[in-house]
Each structure stands twice: as structure tokens, then as C-alpha cells.
Amino acid sequence: MAATLGCRGSLRLRRLLSALNPGIHVPRAGPAAAFGTSVTSAKVAVNGVHLHYQRTGEGEHAVLLLPGMLGSGETDFGPQLENLSKELFTVVAWDPRGYGHSRPPDRDFPVDFFERDAKDAVDLMKTLKFQKVSLLGWSDGGITALIAAAKYPSYINKMVIWGANTYVTDTDVKIYEGIRDVSKWSERTRKPLEALYGYDYFAKTCDKWVDGIRQFTHLPDGGICRHLLPLVQCPTLILHGEKDLLVPRFHADFIHKHVRGSRLHLMPEGKHNLHLRFADEFNKLAEDFLR
């Protein structure tokens, strides 16, 4: 299913039409005229499912973008797909199984779903013939990136993570319960996901996600992947928005303390979606670190 996204305008049009009728398939625009501005879209078989990804750039340095809960490349990483250097990087944004266009299957949340995502992500990039890859992981994607870096150290070059946590506390559970009902989300956050999934799948999957995260409270110290942090070997940049209402600052501090040699950069006005709200600053920080 190869296709090409020509410009941001075509993406807005497709989202609008999808919002009116999620069943409508709107063809993507042809390649843009300017060098390196096109984003190709395709699916490939990996570990028994067909994973969807977007790809742009022609640089030698491969970078994988890992989205957050319910996220996809097109909903979570527009400014990065558009503006990260096409000359320095080949950028891939994937949709984890059950998310975005990597359906079927529907998303489920066994206790090892983050490990499953990490293996899928690494195997996707190997299937695409990349010899080594850097990771940019947001929220759940940051957790996946940490696990991938710990379990496949020879394959991971560098890593940037933000909005991630490696264990679940009672404080976190209260926050998660507060987002279980998607009808209470802000319209700006809710609408792109409704357009992508339709309301029923969106609401059902968010509800299942909250239950999936809560199960970690039954494990020692609420652990998701905290035990793996000492195994991370790659250079790691941790970004944290000090106004992040979903992931408290202590999670970023914990990762920084336990990932050897990591750097922590605080963004005083940043919230959970700092890579979207402050895209230019984020992109520069990421590019400078990855160079």
C-alpha cells in the first residue's frame, strides 16, 4: 500500500473528510516538487501483523518516531516528519499494532505489550534494511524506546524520550482514571483520534489502555521497565515539560538517575505534547543531539 503525502494541506483535507465519515478512503496527494519534502506511506509484514509506517528523508542516520497511547505517525509527529533534516536523517514514523493504520488486529494490552511493541519496532526497522537506528519516543513510545534500547543495545544508536514513565504509582493511576472517558478530552486532542478511529474504537481502546496500565500496579514497585534502565547503553536525552499534567517530573528524574550518562533537559513551559507545542525548539534539540 505505497502512497505519498505531498503537503500538510492534503493531510488536513483527509482528516476533515475522515471526520465526516471515517469509512471514506481519501487518496493521498502525489509527490511534492521540492526535494526531500515527500512522505511515503506503506505497510509491511512483521511478526504476524502488517505494520504501517511513514518515511521521509534520505540521510544516512535512521530515526524511528514512536507515538504515544492511541497514536500514529500522522497524528503524533507531523512537525517532525515535515521539518527534521531530510539530508541528515531518514525518518520513519510507525503505527504500533492495533493503532493507526496497523489494523487489524484490534489493540490489546497483555502485560508484556510494551515488550511486544519494542520487538515489533526493532523488527520493522530491520525489515526495512536499516543497520542501526536512533529512537525518538513520546509517552508510551518513550517506554517502548527504553525497552528496545535495553534489550537490543547493539541496534540502537541514540535515543530521545519525553513524557515517559518506567513504573506506575497511585498518583499515576488517578491521572489515568481522569482520562478514561474520552468525551471529556479537549476537542483539539480528541478530534484527530476520532477522525482516525471513529468514536467507538477510540473510546473502547482508551478504556482498555487504562486497564492495561493499571495492571502494572500489581507488579513489584509498579514496574513497567524500571529494572531494564541499567542495561541502556546508548546516549540518551530525556526531555521533560515542567507543565506536563500526565507524567509528573519525578519520572523523568528517575530515568535520568538510572540511565547511565543520560542528559535531562527541562522545558519550563512544556506540557505533555511539547514536541508539537514547541516543535521548532524540540526539533533543534533532537537534531543537535542526534548529529
Q: What is the pLDDT of residue 10?
A: 41
d(CA 72, CA 15): 13
Q: Which residues pair with 241 in a beta bridge?
A: 267
pLDDT of residue 37: 60
Q: What are the C-alpha distances in Å from 196 to residues 18, 32, 71, 179, 213?
A: 7, 24, 10, 19, 23
What pLDDT shows up at residue 45?
A: 98
Crossing angle between the packed helical segments 8-20 and 187-197, to the nearest 10 degrees: 80
Annotation says 52 is catalytic: no
Q: What is the pLDDT tens value at each position of the chain, 291 positions in all?
A: 444 443 444 443 343 333 333 333 333 333 333 344 699 999 999 999 999 999 999 999 999 999 999 999 999 999 999 999 999 999 999 999 999 999 999 999 999 999 999 999 999 999 999 999 999 999 999 999 999 999 999 999 999 999 999 999 999 999 999 999 999 999 999 999 999 999 999 999 999 999 999 999 999 999 999 999 999 999 999 999 999 999 999 999 999 999 999 999 999 999 999 999 999 999 999 999 999
Angle between helices 140-151 and 113-127 (to 10 degrees): 70
Whole-number pLDDT of residue 145: 99
Q: Are 166 and 145 in contact (CB under 8 A)?
A: no
According to the model, what pLDDT value does residue 168 have? 98
Q: Which pLDDT belongs to residue 229?
A: 98
**The pLDDT of residue 200:** 98
Q: Is 120 annotated as catalytic?
A: no
Which residues neighbour 188 within 8 Å (Cβ) at sequence distance 6 or greater? Answer: none
Query: Among 76, 244, 262, 275, which one carries the catalytic annotation?
Result: 244
**pLDDT for the residue numbered 13:** 35
Which of 52, 240, 272, 275 is an active site residue?
272
- State the catalytic residue, choosing from 38, 41, 102, 139: 139
Does residue 50 have an active-site annotation?
A: no
Burial 210-234 (b: 16+ CB within 10 A, else e): bebbbebeeeeebebbbebbeebeb
pTM: 0.88
